[in-house]
Amino acid sequence: MNEEMRALRMSGKAANPKRVTREEIFEQLTKNASAEFEDYGVDYYIHIGDDGTFYRCFDAADATFTATITPADYDLTSEEWAEKSPEYFYDRETLDNTAFAEVVDNLTEQVNAYLAEVDDED
């Protein structure tokens, strides 16, 4: 946490601890290169700082979180999965897609739990 934020919280003027919204996680996943395609599924990553800042890569972040979509989430066999192009998955990165929405919700919960823990440490 930066000194300015720490001073604000210590003064009692800060609002509730930093939390991210589902919409913020969705935006980060869809506007950044956040997916890694593996034989077992697609891993989606969120990189975040202790102050709630999102980062595009892990080396600048304080924490990284991941959630995975598997072939079973799309009712695909391993063979069918292997034949799919990245565009197949990009086209399904919507909140109307249950599997992707669950990734968004999972990452939102992970990040908010982390931010609450960091805030408690301060």
How many structural domains does the chain have?
1
Question: Does residue 10 carry a pLDDT above 50?
Answer: no
pLDDT score, position 8: 43
Q: Tell me, what's the pLDDT at 26?
A: 96
Which residue segment(s) compose the domain that 95 sits in? 3-121
pLDDT for the residue 120: 72
Per-residue pLDDT averaged across 1-23, rounded?
Answer: 58
Out of 7-21, 52-66, 77-91, 100-114, give the one with best mean pLDDT.
Answer: 100-114
Task: Report the candidate in 88, 87, 115, 89 with the shortest Cα–Cα distance to residue 25.
Answer: 115
Taking the model in full, what pTM does it have? 0.81
Q: Is the pLDDT of residue 122 over 80?
A: no
**pLDDT of 62-80, one tens digit each?**
999 999 999 999 999 999 9
Whole-angstrom Cα distance, residue 94 to residue 104? 10
Three state DSSP letters for the chain: CCHHHHHHHHCCCCCCCCCCCHHHHHHHHHHCCCEEEECCEEEEEEEECCCCCEECCHHHCCEEEEEEECHHHHCCCHHHHHHCCHHHHHCCCCCCCHHHHHHHHHHHHHHHHHHHHHHHHC
| pLDDT score at 33 | 83
For 21-54, write each residue's pLDDT tens digit. Answer: 999 999 999 998 889 998 899 999 999 999 899 9
